[in-house]
Amino acid sequence: MEDFEELGMAWFRRQEKGIITPTEQKKETPDGLWHKCDSCKHIMLMREHKQNAYTCLNCGYHARIGSAEYFELLFDDQQFTELDPNISSANPLNFEDTKPYLKRIQQAQETSKLKDALRSAYGTLQGIPITIACMDFAFIGGSMGSVVGEKIARAVDYSIKHKTPFLCISRSGGARMMEAGFSLMQMAKTAAKLALLADAKLPYISLLTDPTTGGVSASYGMLGDLNIAEPNALIGFAGPRVIRETIGKDLPKGFQTAEYLLEHGFLDFIVHRKELKKTLARVLKMLL
Partner 1 sequence: MLLDFEKPIVELEEKLAQMKKTLDLSNPTNQKIIQSFEQNILELKKETYQNLTRWQKVQLSRHADRPYTLDYIQAICTDFIELHGDRCFADDKAMVGGLGTVEGQTFMFIGQQKGRSTKQRQLRNFGMANPEGYRKALRLMKLAEKFNKPIVTLIDTPGAFPGIEAEERGQAEAIARNIQEMFRIKVPIISIIIGEGASGGALGIAVGDRVLMLENTWYSVISPESCSSILWRSWDYKEQAAEALKLTAQDMLGYKLIDGIIPEPLGGAHTNPQEMYLIFKKYLLETYQELAKIPTKKLLSQRINKFCSMGVFIE
Stretch that binds partner 1, among 29-37, 72-80, 131-139, 245-253 (CB under 8 A): 245-253
Among 72, 84, 259, 268, binds partner 1 (CB under 8 A): 84
Count of positions on this chain that bind partner 1 (CB under 8 A) = 62
Smaller CB distance to partner 1: residue 128 or 177? 177
200 binds partner 1 (CB under 8 A): no
DSSP 161: H
Judged by CB under 8 A, which stretch of 55-63, 161-169, 263-271, 274-282 contacts partner 1?
Answer: 263-271
Q: Does 243 bind partner 1 (CB under 8 A)?
A: yes
Closest CA to 228 of 212, 208, 213: 208
- Alpha-carbon torsion angle 49, 52, 54, 55, nearest 10: -100
Does position 62 interact with partner 1 (CB under 8 A)? The reply is: no
Our finding on whether 191 is near partner 1 (CB under 8 A) is yes
Indicate whether 253 belongs to the interface with partner 1 (CB under 8 A). Answer: no
Residue 131 in contact with partner 1, rule: CB under 8 A: no
Q: What residues have CB less than 8 Å from 71, skipping those under 6 apart?
A: 78, 80, 119, 121, 123, 132, 134
CA distances 61 to 36, 41, 246, Å, are 11, 10, 30
**Which string of DSSP letters, residue by residue, matches 252-268?**
PTTTTBHHHHHHTT--S
Question: Does 93 sit near partner 1 (CB under 8 A)?
Answer: yes
- Virtual CA dihedral for 259, 262, 264, 265, nearest 10 degrees? 170
Measure the CA–CA gap between 178 and 101, rounded to whole angstroms. Answer: 7
Q: At what angle do helices 180-199 and 146-162 cross, to 10 degrees?
A: 10
Task: State the minimum distance, in angstroms, from the CB of residue 141 to partner 1.
Answer: 10
Cβ proximity to partner 1: between 128 and 226 the closer is: 226
73 or 184: whose CB is closer to partner 1?
184
The contact set with partner 1 (CB under 8 A) reads 84, 86-90, 92-93, 95-98, 146-147, 149-150, 153, 175-177, 179-189, 191-196, 213-215, 217-223, 235-238, 242-243, 246-247, 251-252, 255-256, 264-266
